Structure 1
Amino acid sequence: MLKLTSKEIRQMWIDFFKEKNHYYLPSASLVPINDPSLLWINSGVATLKDYFSGIKIPPSLRLVNSQKSIRTNDIENVGVTARHHTFFEMLGNFSIGDYFKKEAQKWALEFLLDTLKIDLDKLYFTVFEEDEDAYQIWLDLGIEKDRIIKGSRKTNFWDVGLGPCGPNSEIFYDRGEKYDPEKVGIKLLKEDLENDRYIEIWNLVFSTFNNDGKNNYTPLKSKNIDTGAGFERLVSISQDAPTNYDTDLFLPIIAKIEELSNKNYVIENYFDNEPIQKEINTAFRVIADHMRSSVNAIADGVEPSNVGRGYIIRRLIRRSYRMGIRLGIKSQTFLHKLVQAIHDALIFDYDIDKVSKIIEEEEILFSKTIDSGLKILEKELERTNNQINFAFAWKLFETYGYPIELTQEILREKNIHLDISEFEKYREMHVERSRSKKGLAMKNVVNSLADIKSKIGEFIGYENLNSTSKILFLANQENEIDEVNGEAFLVLDKTPFYATSGGQKHDQGYLQQGDGKIKVYEVFKDKFGNHVHHVNGKINKAKSIDAFVDPNNRVNLERNHSSTHLLFKALREVFGSEIKQLGSNNNENRLTFDMPANKKPSAEKIAEVERLVRHYIDLDVTRTYSNTDVENARKMGVIITIEETEYMDPSNVRVVSFKNITSDLCGGTHISNTARIENFKITSVENKGTGIFRVTAVTTHKLVDKFNKSRLEKIKEEIARLKKNILEYESHFKFKKIEEDDLELLIDCLIKYSEELKESLKTVIKNNSKKVDDKINVKNYIKNDQLFIMNLDVDDSIITNQAAALRKQNKTAVVLLSSNKNANSNKFVITSEEKDVKQIWNELAKNLKIRGGGNERMMQGVILEKPNYEKIEELL
């Protein structure tokens, strides 16, 4: 595949479809016009709905765009995963009753193979299992059968519940085995498993039917094409970057954050996963992503506020500000200094000074919020004689926007302990609810509109995994109802489904009424402790309903929850009884445990903890339950890790015991005996900041073996990499010795090509007002057509484009450009069409104060000193 800049890829997309007679629509505002159903423009087609519906006449039946978009439903994943963003661009080509599948599929393949020069062997295709037309078209275009995967309605049918819908075909790019550490292979794609190897780069939706909202489908009079390609993903693949953040869309922003924070962003952390650097990288990514959203939204007229879109932007800016604090940035304002870099990395024009001013004002306001929050906290400490509970910490966070990390740091300085397990419980509930605006609205119905005045339902799931129950409450998004065919919330008189609470995830399973199975999406507790089931199906409140919990999922939840208790016991044995549980989370795949520590626990200590937990498992101890009151539980030595009066009735609390190991106050479900846990392995110990470390672990022989095999493969890869580096360094030093004899040839080449170089520079910086002779301040070195070194008296914003242009004109050369606009910090770029500049950058970094990142084609960042070109020449 061609190594391209983001600007080149975007323009290639637009030019390609313009040649196919598509009308180019510049990106619309992020703020929807006359569309109350959307908070933000969140896709390429979102601005075109009136054309597809016939309300407006389109400028052409064929359209192409690159639409800026915002989505904030997965904000907690941003910065953590390789591809989640709040701000992104969607490349789209559309047909409104004009061409259909044959042309759409043909042009998609043509663009990828002929324009971007992607190898066909890197591509896989999915089609809806009933769409024989799309399947045959791919075959006719030369795609082999084993590269076409037939998907189900769940994976390959585009339907939002109302309006145009139809089958879709996706194109995936295979990034290779280095992004598949467990060597799972094509199973990842065939079974739709989350992975970083097979990346969806194009989705072709064939709008064929109309859904009336009740799942009645009728054929559309004119069939449409709605396709979308992920811009950031195409850029990432072209630049061979581990994540979307390691491209020229983000690295200039990250370089500026490095300058402000004096911390380094390390691209290789994707592969080595070192925990401390992982936390640093995450902070960099969150800031870069959130500020891209904030800058572009403000440019489109949205200002930070406490309502609607303004509240979203305020939240993004403040989350970025907190990440800046985490990176050690001390300045009261710093985010506004990123606006220029964000502007230069994209194509959207706006008043940079105006946007910067709005962001700086918001930073000042938030810094005052932090100051006022401190005063509120100190006042509460005085009022309660230094007794702060989770409820106040949550109020300080949720109501005043005061970061919990700062609350913990202040309390720690005063030697006050805050048990934040309940705080984390509230945060978890908040995250779950915010993932779906619709779901949040329905939960509010349960809490505010329902005629429920007390606890009316009973949980019977300790002893039973199924039941026949009565429906006591049934609601849709608007009010309480008697029957429904769709999404709803219900409360049963008795249920075997455990509701998310106490760090344990809800059960999975289904309900059944008559012949119809009803999917249970989640189960949570309302304010009275009733287990509320979020479901989708046909339900009649007057009829009884059967409930079935998935037994395999339940036993995995129980294994991990019981292992959390055993882990807590082992931690107290190894580190001392002062160890506290600051939070835990158990699902069917893994468990986490948050603990306080001044420094990361040693590998030897962690190994001892593991050994103890395995020992407890091997003892084959039976689990027992008992009930008592809180005071008696304390006298019995029961471990109480939560605000018991909030969690349970203090006069009747539940104690879970594994005899001679541990007894804990707990309302969760647990394994019948420790032997059924099988095995235990700590997979990571991460620094969560402010003296908190998170222990993550897996259980069962299967998952432990899977983790061990993955670790072994990583070790093998690291050994191979080190061997390769040794050979490369040996070769490098031999080559360097030979080059020292080429000084006369260097001088001859310098004279010969000097004038040609000046002429090429005039083209590269044609947008500058000064002549190129004024721009070149220092030297132009040409060595066997292999090396260009230039220092330019130009703005940082054009250095990258100049380097890319020179690289194209001199494909065999290494191009090194820097600016001299600032005294202590200047843009620094190394690029080459054929040579690995990443290795060159790493060598220079040993002797120069350079910060940044990139890939083997282009590295860019800043040099934190006045460049010494004689020294650079010597190093190269």
Structure 2
Amino acid sequence: MKSSKEIRQAWIDYFVSKKHLFVESKSLIPKNDPSLLWINSGVATLKDYFSGKKKPPANRLVNSQKCIRTNDIENVGITARHHTFFEMLGNFSIGDYFKKEAIEFAHEVVTKVFELDQNKIYITYYEEDQEVKNKWLSLGYPEDHLIAGSRELNFWDVGSGPCGPNTEIFYDRGSKYHEKGVELIANDIENDRFIEIWNIVFSQYNNLGNDEYEELKQKNIDTGAGLERIVSILQNGPTNFDTDLFLPIIYEVEKLSNLKYDIENYFKKNKDQNLINKNFKIIADHMRAVTNAINDGEKPSNTQRGYIIRRLIRRAYYAGKKLNIDQKTFLYKLVPVVKDSLIFDIDINKVSKIIKDEEEIFSKTIEQGRKILEEEISKTKSKLFDVKIAFKLYETFGFPIEMTHDILIENDLDLNFEELNKLKDEHVNKSRSKSITNKFDLQINSLASINENISKFIGYDNLEKIGAQILYLVPKDDGNIENNENSTYYLILNETPLYATSGGQLHDKGYLKQDDNTIELIDVFKDKNNNHIHVVKGNVDAKKPIDVFVDKANRLCLMRNHSATHLSFAALRHVYGEEIEQLGSDNNQDRLTFDFPLNHKPTEDEIKQIEQFVQNAIKKNVKREYIETTIEDAKKRNAIMTIEETEYFDSNKVRIVDFPTITIDLCGGTHVDKTQDIEDYKIISVDSKGVGKYRLRAITSFNAIKNYYKNEIEKYQETYNALYNKYLKIHKEKNVANKPLSFSFTEENLEEKLSSIQIAIQKISDEIKTLNKSKANIDDIKIETEKVNNILFANNVNKDYIKDIAIKFREANPNNIIVLLSKFENNKSLIIITSKNHDVLNWIHKNNLPVKGGGNKLIWQGVTNQKINLDQIKEWD
């Protein structure tokens, strides 16, 4: 059985073998796209390439994009395939291949890569699209496995802009999932037998409005295949949740609950178990969404995306309470297992803290909401509770409807869910009316209509341009020009010194001026014709010349990191061999990253070699050379080139960046004049990015590296202080071997200082382990015990050793119940340890130990690992 990680990688590898460029998953938070609340599809991050606003890095692309959709949160856990967070596998053609190749690729992936039985594959197609039908027939699919669909079902159209027919691939899981056959697909009936695993959209026409269509000159392919669905089929899971994408999270939740998840209940259909399974699924799904959304920069709040995160956390929290999880905070503990189930970098500490803080807030909110609800219940004279109050609790206080309903049932009251759903729908519609309609950018928008290069980049040699001519000025959202300081425009100039994001390098910062009017620069990108598109905010007069200024300090940082990226690649080839590839790079003013394949985790020695190679190249002070030539000549010079770079150049005019004796590369970015301008180079991490793929992260310049060491020293100082306090607490002696350490931030020998504090941390950590180990050695401790009817009592046990002593006694007396009492100042604690054969609850009641609740806790450690509050603790003398 293939793992989800292997399945995802198989998809990517196949399309890369078909000359597709792999595009990494982008953030869930849309960038410069107010039409979307979340990235909700595989194509959402690629829209500008399809609309013609930007030139794609390649005309064939493949990705596995993380997505969030929250329009049907209430269905999560109830159906087999509803999720808030999911991954969409995609392959895309932008003016390259079309129907024939797209269908051939799909057929080969489904039957050869995923090895699904072709006899169980069913296809839908647009009823007027005979070309698609004939292509599927030619690949051996019988007529009765091809279902013609209406315009409503198999034609993708959003009212205006690009549109076209589509074809969908379904997999038949057999009659045990539904007794009816192919009519389920034909009638578009939701079912668990025929699973749609792939949708191919043929972007063929331009909708001009008023039922007028024209053929697109540039025809595109946009596909989407649900990873969770494919994994459930290949791993034979009854639902998407019964796979290695969700089960590890569910099993982690089981450790916190006394209830269990049952995969087979899909077929058993036990009602009580259905509810239990539902709550496990809600937690697993919502924690995947919450973890990734917070990691991408969003936080719980009362507005927009933050509100969605807050709502998901609260639904998951309440689901945990329904699973009898009695811990005040518990969801945050699931973040590590969520990370392990996926391939994305997750900052576990950051995400866990935000979730834990939100749990603590909600635990208080529950009490507040419960008080309001109980007060309203006391006023209610009807058996039907006021639905507006229930909705207000839900909308204003975040009090879950399910919780309200449970409390109402306890008080013999009911709730009109039909009226409640109407209130919800009204609220959603009001929210939608205030937001921008979610639609694909128009293929015929203003930028797409430009079909030639009309601007010139002069930023290699100039950092300002006085009196640039405005060739093109259009409101960013294709509306009317408001002509005020809050207006945002797309701006094209005849000449610009501002570098546009491309080739792995971020765009320049800077500003523009007309007379005394300063205009804010937001972004610079390239369109399909390599025009530099400036996104600006302010009052712009299209008839006046405009002055353009590059932020010089920021440009220098960009050049350092870009040049260091080239040196990093050379270093990797030096250490691992010339066959090493560049899988991606990204550099901005703060740092650089470089992705590369390797069949083993880079060792510390190898990382040091890479770092040393770049540092030596900097010290050589090699002068950089620019060479303009052709692709053919670049190949003769053995220039290193990537798919990403070659797409940015005309084959007859390319630019080579040469650091003689070190590396020669095809590149359109900006670079330092000589290697010594980089100043210094430090690798700060080399992390795994999936099977056989690693990401190197580095920084440059004396100042950046100095600040890095200062921050690291400060962080490790806090770690050391915490360990030192723990050491003192365990040691309990005034004259201890270790002394407090303090590391000053003088600029000399910062690397040595960091190394020293790391060594100190390791040393004190080892000593704490030794102290803990010696503490657990209780053979010499004298304890008076009393044995009564197979019950071994010990009074006045040292509280620091009580758990270790209890475990030791159980090993020596496996057939006895061990009861240990510890007293420290005004606090008392009782530990009961048993073997598997003892009924502890029954024993407690027989011995008249009260269990109604109170300030002290009775804890026994054994099979059940439960806690019971006591009004008092019984003592034995």
Q: TM-score, normalised by structure 2?
A: 0.49
Structure ID, larger Rg: 2
Q: TM-score, normalised by structure 1?
A: 0.49
